[in-house]
């Protein structure tokens, strides 16, 4: 049974979902890549930061949403809390891939760059980031695909998005509703995976 107006709801919730993911990923990238770069420069906080990101990943997503609700400023009910927890989830793959990507640059290449008189900034922008780009993008892709899935749970704390359909469908035992949430979410994930994978391949020159 497809009720009238369903299509419109799908479009609306899909775009809401998309915005949620976009916001979370932008923040996660803006935090994760610079911190990842810093961690390549400073060995000592590496374990601590990666440990934190790791622990964040192990917390069940529904629980993380729940934990955040009572926390002032970043918590509460609604989109903000949803985005904060999605960011915490997305951080690890981005952070870790930035770190491994840059540390994976051939030692001889790095040594040549330094010995040729590159400044730290030139080394980063001309050598390390281009050579690590593929690995970093792979991290972004994994994080994005995961975030699209996890974001469906955001509906539980009033974050909106396609999860609204799913929770509604579960509550009313209505498969159509569940599918109305699940299929667009899966499609979004596939498109993101394909698109980011394509960009990634274009960086495969090296």
Partner 1 sequence: MGGSRLAVRREPVDSSLRPPAAVEFRKVSFRIGSNLILDNFSFSVEPGETLVLLGRSGSGKTTALRMVNGLLFPTSGEVLVDGRPTTAWDLIELRRGIGYVIQEVGLFPHFTIGENVGLVPRLAQWPPEKIAIRTRDLLEQAGLPPDEFLNRYPRELSGGQRQRVGVARALAADPRLLLFDEPFGALDPVTRLELQDQFLALRNRFQKTSIFVTHDVREALRIASRIALLDRGRLETLATPDKFLTSLGPQTRAFLAVLEKGRHHGTQDGT
Closest CA to 29 of 202, 198, 196: 196
Dist CA 146 CA 151 (whole Å): 8
Dist CA 120 CA 110 (whole Å): 11
What is the nearest approach in angstroms of partner 1 to the Cβ of residue 113?
Answer: 7
Q: Considering the complex, state which of residue 3 and residue 201 has its C-beta at the smaller distance from partner 1.
A: 201
What is the nearest approach in angstroms of partner 1 to the Cβ of residue 128?
Answer: 11
Q: Are 98 and 36 in contact (CB under 8 A)?
A: yes
What is the nearest approach in angstroms of partner 1 to the Cβ of residue 30?
Answer: 25
What is the nearest approach in angstroms of partner 1 to the Cβ of residue 120?
Answer: 10
Q: Considering the complex, state which of residue 2 and residue 205 has its C-beta at the smaller distance from partner 1.
A: 205
Cα 140 versus chain centre, distance: 6
Dist CA 30 CA 49 (whole Å): 16
Dist CA 104 CA 100 (whole Å): 6
What is the nearest approach in angstroms of partner 1 to the Cβ of residue 114?
Answer: 7
Interface residue list for partner 1 (CB under 8 A):
106-119, 122, 127, 130-131, 205-206
DSSP state of 203: T
Q: Are 88 and 147 in contact (CB under 8 A)?
A: no
What is the nearest approach in angstroms of partner 1 to the Cβ of residue 52?
Answer: 32
Q: Considering the complex, state which of residue 2 and residue 115 has its C-beta at the smaller distance from partner 1.
A: 115
Closest CA to 90 of 170, 33, 40: 33
């Amino acid at each position: 049974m497809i009720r009238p107006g369903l299509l419109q709801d799908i479009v609306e919730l899909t775009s809401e979902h998309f915005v949620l993911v976009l916001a979370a990923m932008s923040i996660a990238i803006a935090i994760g890549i610079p911190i990842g770069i810093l961690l390549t420069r400073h060995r000592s906080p590496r374990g601590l930061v990666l440990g934190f990101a790791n622990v964040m990943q192990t917390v069940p997503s529904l629980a993380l949403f729940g934990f955040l609700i009572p926390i002032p400023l970043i918590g509460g009910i609604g989109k903000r809390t949803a985005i904060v927890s999605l960011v915490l989830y997305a951080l690890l793959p981005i952070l870790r891939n930035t770190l491994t990507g840059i540390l994976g640059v051939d030692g001889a290449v790095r040594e040549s760059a330094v010995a040729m008189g590159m400044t730290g900034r030139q080394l980063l922008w001309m050598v390390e980031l281009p050579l690590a780009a593929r690995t970093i993008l792979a991290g972004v892709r994994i994080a994005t695909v995961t975030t699209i899935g996890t974001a469906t749970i955001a509906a539980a704390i009033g974050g909106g998005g396609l999860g609204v359909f799913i929770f509604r469908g579960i509550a009313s035992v209505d498969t159509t509703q569940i599918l109305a949430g699940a299929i667009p979410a899966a499609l979004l994930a596939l498109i993101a995976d394909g698109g980011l994978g394509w960009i990634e391949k274009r960086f495969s020159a090296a």
